[in-house]
Amino acid sequence: MHRKKKIIIAAAATVVIGAGSAFAYWSTTGSGSGSGATSAGTSNLAIVQTSTVSNLRPGDAAQTISGTVTNNADSSAYVNSVTVSIAGVTQASGATGICDATDYTLASPTMSVTTDVAPGGTANFNGATLKFNNKATNQDGCKGATVNLSYASN
């Protein structure tokens, strides 16, 4: 009878050891969120007019505007176009009469560039023209005036 006890104890030990290797899990669902950020981009483009527009006078031909875009950022920038506008007119000291943007015609103000500009690189633009309008009124206020141009790119 002593032998039967040993077999029962051995069988019980096997059941206990085997129970330790069983696996169980719960099924469930979950959710979460995350994000990624892109660079805001830098508006580090320098736009410089390289053409000289001077000696504008009544009845004269329009003069072409040209320039260069320089990318001062640390990554490439795609420049689609450069647009020029008349920001204002500064009359010469002592000028009499009125002179404003209506005394000038700016034609084809949006100039195509359509290129990637590498860091430190440049791209050229041209095509807009500026002309002094020959009005039927006295334009002495425009003698020696400076037409201030503004540039923007996109």
In this structure, CATH architecture of domain 45-153: Sandwich (2.60)
The string of pLDDT tens digits covering residues 6-28 is 554 544 444 455 455 556 666 66
The string of pLDDT tens digits covering residues 98-113 is 999 999 999 999 999 9
Give strand pairing partners of 83. 110, 152
CB 138 within 8 A of CB 103: no
Give strand pairing partners of 85. 150
Of 6-15, 44-53, 80-89, 145-154, the least confident:
6-15
List the domain boundaries for the chain. Answer: 45-153
- Tokens 């490439």 -> residue: 76
Cut 0.95: pTM above it: no
